[in-house]
Structure 1
Amino acid sequence: MKFRFDDQPHQAQAIESVVDLFEGGALVPPQGVIGQASGAAGHAGFQLDRSVLAQNLLAVTTRETVEVQDTLILMEETDLLEQPRDFPNFSVEMETGTGKTYVYIATALRLAETYGVRKFVILVHTVAIRAGVVKTFEQTREHFRAKYPHLDYQWRVLGDSQAVPDFADPSSNVQFLVAGISSLDKPASNTLYASPEQANLWNREATGIAQLAQLRPVVLIDEPQNMGTSKRRKTIATLNPLVALRYSATHRDPYNLVHRLSAKRAAELGLVKHVSVKGVVAGASGQPYLHLMGIRSRALRGTTRWLAELVIDAAVGDRQTVVLAPGTDVQDESGGLAQYQGYIIESMTRSELRFENGVTLATGQTLGVDGLSVWRDQVRHTIRAHLQKQADVEQRGQGLKVLSLFFVERVADYIGNVATLPAMFDALFREEWARSGRPAAAMPDPATLRVHYFPSTKTGIYKDTSGKASEEGFEARAYDEIITNKEKLLDLTNPRAFIFSHSALREGWDNPNVFQIGFLRHTRSDTERRQQIGRGLRLPVDQNGNRVQDEATNRLTLVVDESFSEFRDGLNAEYGGAGDRPDVENEDHIVTIHLRPDKFQSPEFAALWQRIRYRAVYRIERVDEATLAATVATHEHLDNLRNIQRRANVVQSADLVYDDRGKVITTDVTVAETSGERVVLAGHRLPNVVQMVEDQLQHGKFPLQLTRPTVVAILSAIPTHYRAGAIHDPGYWARIVAHVIRTAVIEQMVQNIEYVPVDEAHWWDANVVFLDSETKNKPLAVPGQPTPSSGVAEAPIDGANLHDYVDYDSLVEKSFAELLENHRGTVKLFTKLPRRFRVKTPVGEYSPDWAIVFERDGEEHLYLVRETKDTLNLDDLEWDEAMRIRFATKHFAVAPRGAVDFTSTTANAGIRVANG
């Protein structure tokens, strides 16, 4: 079986966002180099016009869903050989599973075809990603050679024999060198930095690293957030890049971000599987529940303070995560639960804490639950979901092989004399097979369905690893097997369908037909939930290698050992900013919403869509400095500065404990702390509050770039009686002032903004915004609240709704939909607009709630867009929410294909149509 590749719009957009940066003379090759041998000099003769690059950056970021940028940010770094370097960097953000590796290889080939560049270094940080890149080259070989028949290209892996000499070969071929960052960042021990024993043909006596630097390659960085240390930045600079292109789903420092495809957006477009979670919540075992997530230290005024992060039961609500210091009584933290009596933290080390009652708890350990019973439930529900999924795809005739993946943290749990998982799986498979109603005679031997991949030595001894560089050799052997067997596992004639893999190998797993993942582990990392989702997001392929585009099929189920709400809240914390995370759904409550074809093809919808489908960009006049300073100086929120109080001393108390030689061995964890006298900073240099305010403006929820003179003018205008807080607590003072400035600036933008429709070729496509069917999570009613505050409700069969269900986010929306259905004499058609339909605003993208065709006086049709809230007063809403609505008013006021009436309303206020 071979994977099939085609040109997908989201990938083409990502490719164009980079290729277009270099048009118009931004990248000038030597005369006659395009399509011909570039010579031993590589890209040394190429010229980058950075002013044109900046102009192109502005053009690209204006059309993309990223922050508009007209200033080119360079990486300026001294390399590992003490040579100063500076070069442009551009970043592309793409969610895992949407073809990031394909995109940067395709981008490189487009750059080669269009501008004549020939040398590309692909930097990766793990052997898993390296193996995946090589596999992508192998899988796409025929596809790219058909797409670029005039381009010959080769790839080599740094470390292979002759990899560097082949890369430096002065031919017209396009050359890729796949390199692990750890194979480049050790000049003292790396042979690349050593002089060759004999001269080479092209660069005579140059070292290997010098040969690479002389070529000035285009550097493609995979997951650059893992290469942000000073040493690794220097390593990148040592390659002397012509330009660096950075690709990741989670950039930490997005240099010149030119394209974004977030996790949420990818899910909305159907580019990845949707995610369901089945949580297994451990029952009590007679002991109080305690789970030690970790122990961390914090430097505080020259000392180190140890803190333990624990999960405990709470007197009210679900389990809670608490951070506790020595001397803390867990019973108090739980709200007085009796089972925690005597659990007072006595001491702790880096990996263990001790309670005064003698109980000890190691990092990752859990008290109060039966761990094996949790595993049994996880394995059981994974098998159950697997059998149901396979039955579903067989019924649809999709020719899909369904795979399930278990991550195991310890090899001994699966292999060896004390291994429990193989026998557990086999017994549970037999039970679930019988439960599904399948004939016993047709049941395969469960042992033939299992396959495992673990890190190993050359002699085949399996090992536990943790992803460290020193363990790369062990993990590489497992990745080779995973990558080599990827297609084999997808063959329906291959019985292997349940994969057990080591938790350290998470990044290597991207088999598209993984539909269920069970994570059987002893500890939880800070990014584990994101890693769980990422391993199964890719869309599945059938026996012919074709991608299956079926939303009902494309669903990933995670079977986890925590409640759904815990998983959701934890995932939200890992993703951080709103809008970047995919929605996860409770698998047990799913409804499919269908588009009504007669409504979708009706003249009413066609007329409505023609009026609202346009996209627009906005322009804003320069903020007036004097007006802004005056607005800030009189802003009501400055009153919060009155509440800033002086900081206080910390009084530390501890007994001195001596060893036999008279040395004090008192540990940091025994130090008690109390508050002392308030202090005034005297005789010390105060922090630069101007810089602190600038930092707050640039890194807040809505980043804002103001010149330093403007910031100074604003701070100078703040009344004197508000300035004392800058001495007492500079950080808090800067946060308040920055918030007031940001509020004032954006409120001025509302007055000065101008929206301009873009070319019609870039308007919204109805077939992209409105899908034939979508699955939604339907929450259950809870006692005292028979109607969930969000969910789906069935629409009347003969109603005006474009869909057969209403997808509502609040009871206000549900009531408004009912109101529309009750006005069928005037409401000819309406729809809840999918979140895929968006309006750009300076405070983030905005998705309005409703689009309506309204008939007035039996003749005239009005085309309405409505936002529903529980108040008509925008000042009662969250500030950024109100701002989006105000900006949207300006957007809909410039509708180019006929008037669109936009406003906000409530269920009680109704449709709010002005009399004609």
Structure 2
Amino acid sequence: MEAMNKSQSGNQTLMELKLEQLEYQQRAIQSVISVFKGQEKNTFDNACVEGIRSNIISLSQVEILRNIKNIAIENGIREETANIQNTNNLCVEMETGTGKTLVYIKTIFELFKHYGFTKFIILVPSVAIKEGVLKTFDIFVKQLEDIYNIKPNCFEYDSKKLSKVKRFIEEQHPQIMVMTLQSFNSDDRILNQAQREDLFSNMAYIEAIARTNTIIIMDEPQEGMDTPNSIERIKSINPLFKIRYSATHKVLTNLIYRLTPFDSYKQGFVKKIEVLTVSEKNDEASMKIELSKIELGKGEPKAVLKAWHLTSSGFKFKDTKKLEKKAALQNITNNIIYKDYVIEQIARPIRGKGFVKFKNGAVIYEGEQAKDYSTIFNEQLYWLIDTHFRKKEKLKEKGIKCLSLTFIDRVDNYINPDGIIRTAFIEQYKNVYKNIFGKEPTLQEIEQSQGYYFAKTGKGDYTDNEHSMRNNKELYDLILKSKEKLLSIDNPVEFIFSHSALGVGWDNPNVFNIATLNQS
């Protein structure tokens, strides 16, 4: 993990991530560099043809394979595990949270330093990872520039800015293009179009890129980069080498470095994750509800729910009568456990499932079962907040801020003032705070301790749509930019709420506690 350095910005102390020379990261970098041992350094004279600056390899396949075998042996990887083959694939296996992105960025600097390679594509599977890569480069580029005395031109591929691609092809200066597979995975993509007015020297841009013999850094290649179509599309770029970085390789060829989860934890490179499991033992004492059906007819739709009824012979889990808006489930079932369940909305099914929403924020969909989410969420949040405060006190002595992250699957459960998660958080924050500190927190303290990151539709409404979130560049910009601000002890935000579809990108070194509060 990188050390943190304080700097002043206005009235707030910001935390800057500082590069450290970590031995395991250096070994990962050196393992890639050693693959090209004996390589003649690229220069303008030997690596520039017809206005295109390329990566040129002078080593034979035999020499490269010999280097790969030697590296695997040095790193304690058996030959059968390394799966050494005569291909241009290299695999680096690193556990999540060990600085994989920074490792391959530094590897690019080293490859230029040692061999003069200038063309690199970082291929990522999603917008989230792409934004994370760009942010990591932005954070560390000044420090890397001081070390290597060079600043590569790192940019995000944009089909509307082909001048940057042209520069990538022509320039002698190191170039790093960050892109997703979707940028060139079909014939109609701009890079593949050969009938355009703005071609590069009368050839499609993908053909010109292929002549650069770029080195492709594949980040999480198991996420869609090994399909038959993807393999062919990547092949069309004619990479000099493909360096695959992942903790969970599905295609493992020429493994030259491995940092396993056990090694990572044993050596203290990653934090231990604690998991709280909440279960319901007495089913009849729970607020289990099922939406049996929604009946449509004249007037407003009606709902039939299945719930625990208190009868003269005991509890029975059975259907209610047809219910309308404002129906109080406690009265219908004679069961006080449902005292907060008053129907606020019955939504008729149009394209998806119909649902019933209660005034306490709980929502149940057709064919699904609503459990006692209120109790479960309260249990989880009590544990999260209690664990947070206890860790906070220990970390404070070291000048480290403690952050806790909560993933949810329904934004309304938090955004609404009476949402089930928001109300549970406030209640449990008060309980834990009083137990630990012996006094009540102010509402202002509770509010200031929270931060949230959710996607919005074009109309400005919050959304649970995963596709919208995963392709929402602005949202990831906000998350990634906020990471540095959140590290500041002066920033009161300690509890972060985000949608469960936004898990990628939150590799913040100060997140010590994670809870998932999903209702589906």
Normalising by the residue count of structure 2, what TM-score does the alignment of the two structures yield?
A: 0.77
User: What corresponds to 2:114 in structure 1?
Assistant: 114
User: What corresponds to 2:34 in structure 1?
Assistant: 20
1:10-32 CA-partner distances (Å, limit 9, x unpaired): 001101111111112xx445566
Matches within 5 A, 1:324-335: none
8 A contact 2:210–2:238 mirrored in 1: yes
Letter in 1 for 2:258: R
How far the C-alpha of 1:284 sits from its partner, in A, is 2.3
1:274-326 CA-partner distances (Å, limit 9, x unpaired): 2222322233231899999xxxxxxxxxxxxxxxxxxxxxxxxxxxxxxxxxx
Secondary structure in structure 1 of the residue aligned to 2:170: coil
How far the C-alpha of 1:480 sits from its partner, in A, is 1.1
**Residues of 2 paired with 1:99 and 1:206: CA distance?**
38
1:99-149 CA-partner distances (Å, limit 9, x unpaired): 100111111111111111000000000111101100110111122112101
User: What corresponds to 2:20 in structure 1?
Assistant: 6
How far the C-alpha of 1:448 sits from its partner, in A, is 1.6
Secondary structure in structure 2 of the residue aligned to 1:278: coil
8 A contact 1:39–1:170 mirrored in 2: no
User: What corresponds to 2:245 in structure 1?
Assistant: 247
1:596-630 CA-partner distances (Å, limit 9, x unpaired): xxxxxxxxxxxxxxxxxxxxxxxxxxxxxxxxxxx
Residue 486 of structure 1 pairs with residue 483 of structure 2: yes
Residue 211 of structure 1 pairs with residue 213 of structure 2: no
Greater RCO structure (CA 8 Å; 6+ sep): 2
How far the C-alpha of 1:234 sits from its partner, in A, is 1.5
**Residues of 1 paired with 2:465 and 2:443: CA distance?**
35
Secondary structure in structure 1 of the residue aligned to 2:230: helix
8 A contact 1:450–1:500 mirrored in 2: yes
1:159-206 CA-partner distances (Å, limit 9, x unpaired): 1623312312322x1110000112221222x12222475456xx4122
Letter in 1 for 2:257: H
**Residues of 1 paired with 2:252 and 2:490: CA distance?**
45
Letter in 1 for 2:253: Y
8 A contact 1:225–1:253 mirrored in 2: yes
1:323-342 CA-partner distances (Å, limit 9, x unpaired): xxxxxxxxxxxxxxxxxxxx
Letter in 1 for 2:246: S
User: What corresponds to 2:278 in structure 1?
Assistant: 280
Secondary structure in structure 2 of the residue aligned to 1:511: coil
Letter in 2 for 1:512: P
Matches within 5 A, 1:253-652: 253-286=251-284, 365-366=368-369, 369-394=371-396, 397-416=397-416, 419-440=419-440, 444-466=444-466, 468=467, 472-473=470-471, 475-523=472-520
Letter in 2 for 1:514: V
Letter in 2 for 1:385: T
Q: 1:472 to 1:274 in 2, by over 3 A?
A: closer
**Residues of 1 paired with 2:289 and 2:129: CA distance?**
33
**Residues of 2 paired with 1:476 and 1:271: CA distance?**
30
Letter in 2 for 1:424: A
8 A contact 1:42–1:215 mirrored in 2: yes
Secondary structure in structure 2 of the residue aligned to 1:445: helix
Q: 1:442 to 1:415 in 2, by over 3 A?
A: closer
How far the C-alpha of 1:269 sits from its partner, in A, is 0.7
Q: 1:42 to 1:126 in 2, by over 3 A?
A: same
**Residues of 1 paired with 2:63 and 2:367: CA distance?**
54
Matches within 5 A, 1:661-676: none
**Residues of 1 paired with 2:501 and 2:49: CA distance?**
42
1:224-251 CA-partner distances (Å, limit 9, x unpaired): 1111111111121121100100000110
8 A contact 1:123–1:220 mirrored in 2: yes
Secondary structure in structure 2 of the residue aligned to 1:404: strand
**Residues of 2 paired with 1:237 and 1:289: CA distance?**
56
From 61, 71, 80, the counterpart of 1:50: 61
1:668-713 CA-partner distances (Å, limit 9, x unpaired): xxxxxxxxxxxxxxxxxxxxxxxxxxxxxxxxxxxxxxxxxxxxxx
**Residues of 2 paired with 1:20 and 1:67: CA distance?**
18
User: What corresponds to 1:62 in structure 2?
Assistant: 73
**Residues of 1 paired with 2:289 and 2:117: CA distance?**
55
Q: 1:235 to 1:522 in 2, by over 3 A?
A: farther
Q: 1:38 to 1:94 in 2, by over 3 A?
A: farther
Q: 1:91 to 1:132 in 2, by over 3 A?
A: same
User: What corresponds to 1:231 in structure 2?
Assistant: 229
8 A contact 2:42–2:115 mirrored in 1: no
User: What corresponds to 1:183 in structure 2?
Assistant: 183
8 A contact 1:285–1:370 mirrored in 2: no
Secondary structure in structure 1 of the residue aligned to 2:19: coil
**Residues of 1 paired with 2:501 and 2:145: CA distance?**
35
User: What corresponds to 2:151 in structure 1?
Assistant: 152
8 A contact 2:384–2:514 mirrored in 1: yes
Letter in 2 for 1:156: F
Secondary structure in structure 1 of the residue aligned to 2:187: coil
**Residues of 2 paired with 1:31 and 1:370: CA distance?**
67
Normalising by the residue count of structure 1, what TM-score does the alignment of the two structures yield?
A: 0.44
**Residues of 2 paired with 1:291 and 1:237: CA distance?**
53
**Residues of 2 paired with 1:291 and 1:442: CA distance?**
35
**Residues of 2 paired with 1:215 and 1:364: CA distance?**
55
Q: What stretches of structure 1 move > 3 A for 4+ residues in a row?
A: 27-34, 36-40, 44-48, 69-72, 195-200, 287-292, 361-367, 438-444, 470-473
8 A contact 2:92–2:246 mirrored in 1: yes
Letter in 2 for 1:64: N
**Residues of 2 paired with 1:44 and 1:363: CA distance?**
58
**Residues of 1 paired with 2:287 and 2:444: CA distance?**
40
Number of aligned residues: 431
8 A contact 2:55–2:118 mirrored in 1: no
User: What corresponds to 1:165 in structure 2?
Assistant: 166
| Structure 1 runs not aligned, ≥5 long | 75-86, 293-350, 353-360, 524-916
Residue 105 of structure 1 pairs with residue 105 of structure 2: yes
Secondary structure in structure 2 of the residue aligned to 1:501: strand
**Residues of 1 paired with 2:186 and 2:418: CA distance?**
41
Letter in 2 for 1:165: K
8 A contact 2:469–2:501 mirrored in 1: no
How far the C-alpha of 1:39 sits from its partner, in A, is 7.6
How far the C-alpha of 1:254 sits from its partner, in A, is 1.1
Q: Percent identity over the alignment?
A: 29
How far the C-alpha of 1:385 sits from its partner, in A, is 0.7
Q: 1:224 to 1:289 in 2, by over 3 A?
A: farther
| Structure 2 runs not aligned, ≥5 long | 1-14, 291-351, 354-363
8 A contact 2:210–2:239 mirrored in 1: yes
8 A contact 1:58–1:68 mirrored in 2: yes
Q: 1:30 to 1:112 in 2, by over 3 A?
A: closer
User: What corresponds to 1:192 in structure 2?
Assistant: 191
User: What corresponds to 2:293 in structure 1?
Assistant: none
Letter in 2 for 1:187: D
8 A contact 1:94–1:262 mirrored in 2: yes
8 A contact 1:40–1:215 mirrored in 2: no
8 A contact 2:449–2:493 mirrored in 1: yes
User: What corresponds to 1:40 in structure 2?
Assistant: 51
User: What corresponds to 2:311 in structure 1?
Assistant: none
Secondary structure in structure 2 of the residue aligned to 1:286: helix
**Residues of 1 paired with 2:178 and 2:125: CA distance?**
11
Secondary structure in structure 1 of the residue aligned to 2:222: helix
